[in-house]
Amino acid sequence: MSCTLVTRLLRRYVSVAQTAGYIIAALVGLSIVLSAVQFYRDASGLFDSDTAMGRDYLVLSKQIGLNKRDASFTAEELASLESQPWVDSIGAFTASRFRASIGVDFAGKGMTTEAFFESIPDEFFDRLPDDWHFSPATGEVPIVLSRDYLALYNFGFAASRGLPTLRESEIGLIPLVITLTDRNGSRVRMRGHVAGFSSRINTIAVPEEFMKWANDNFGNGADAMPARVVVRVNTPGDPAINTYMERNGLEIAGDKADNSTAAYFLRVATAAVSAIGAVISALALFILLLSMYLLLQKNRDKLHQMMLLGYSPTQVSVPYVIFIVVVNAAVWILACAATALVSTLWRKALATLSVAPAGMWPTLLAGAGIMCVLSVVCIIAVRTTIRKDF
């Protein structure tokens, strides 16, 4: 009865018009923010996971032309690249400086091909195989292949030669024979296997330990500068990247540049729309705060009288806390429904592009987080005001 009495006394003067105004404003603001976030999450499926995660790996090389015979980066060029604000870190490709061939006894047919290897620091791999290490004692060389190579084999080579197509998991089971030849012509045969595939690195990659050992023991002695580098970019699609590439005659491998630019604009657009939603939400918060201040002002004498009876500021703030929580919960539920409704507009289009939409829960939970923050701000304001009047 006491709680009901307190509520009855202190809820008086709650303005329906002000409450409705807040609900509409907060609903519009939160719906815009959540829709923008959900659109970003859904549309991110159009890009690879690196780009969508807000980071990117670009493989750079110099443009090759008739007048440009030396494709290696100089130490100054690498330092310049590393100092760019959009660069998080760079890793140099170390190329093999020895002759090598890879042989395979495959479906009764022996094949051998001249080969090359490259290595990059481990941190630049999208997924490192478990056995990604090399020891001269065991002599087993793990290899990571570009997925493009497997596609070339399956859809180009195997089809034309009547060979079976292979899945990634099967290739690892095929033993390889790697033959290294030093500059004097002496050969060493080693065992190898395909330990994994990479979408990021377009090469035949071996562990850096192997590359150092092999270059030291079989190399031609020259300590060459890298011709390719992999760059971890912290602002994918940043227009400054393309400007830098053009000015310095560099090329980005694959379609990363276009992809990154599209992702960049998606992020910018999402941020802009979210900002508009956030501003509307902030204005809605001000409406709620003003409304609560007005309500507290109108009930000031009652609040004071109740505290004279012995009620604590926390106890007399309960009806207002419940009011704030219920109203904000209603806004959250309505905004979730609005976001779900609006997202059907683009999900149909994405479905035609075979892009699976992202789940809605993270977005809805983000909305709950925003409303929790708004509620906490408002509750603190109410309690502070009441304590001042004690």
Positions that interact with another protein (CB under 8 A): 1-2, 5-6, 8-9, 12, 302, 305-313, 387, 390
Residues β-bridged to residue 177: 103, 191
Residues β-bridged to residue 141: 192
Residues β-bridged to residue 4: none
**Smallest gap, in angstroms, from Cβ of residue 309 to another protein?**
5
DSSP state of 117: -
Given a contact cutoff of 8 angstroms between Cβ atoms, the answer to whether 299 and 55 are in contact is: no
What CA–CA distance (Å, rounded) separates 291 from 189?
A: 82
Compare residues 16 and 308 and give the one whose CB is closer to another protein: 308
SS3 2: helix
Compare residues 229 and 303 and give the one whose CB is closer to another protein: 303
Compare residues 1 and 137 and give the one whose CB is closer to another protein: 1
Helix 256-298 vs helix 16-43: angle between axes, to the nearest 10 degrees? 170
| CA-based end-to-end distance of the chain | 24
**Smallest gap, in angstroms, from Cβ of residue 124 to another protein?**
59
Compare residues 232 and 302 and give the one whose CB is closer to another protein: 302
**Smallest gap, in angstroms, from Cβ of residue 9 to another protein?**
6
**Smallest gap, in angstroms, from Cβ of residue 277 to another protein?**
39
Residues β-bridged to residue 59: 230
Compare residues 5 and 159 and give the one whose CB is closer to another protein: 5
**Smallest gap, in angstroms, from Cβ of residue 28 to another protein?**
36
User: How far are the Cα atoms of 156, 266, 373 from residue 163, in angstroms, in the given order?
Assistant: 10, 43, 62
Residues β-bridged to residue 115: 100
**Smallest gap, in angstroms, from Cβ of residue 11 to another protein?**
12
What CA–CA distance (Å, rounded) separates 168 from 86?
A: 34
Compare residues 313 and 367 and give the one whose CB is closer to another protein: 313
What one-letter code names the amino acid at 101?
S
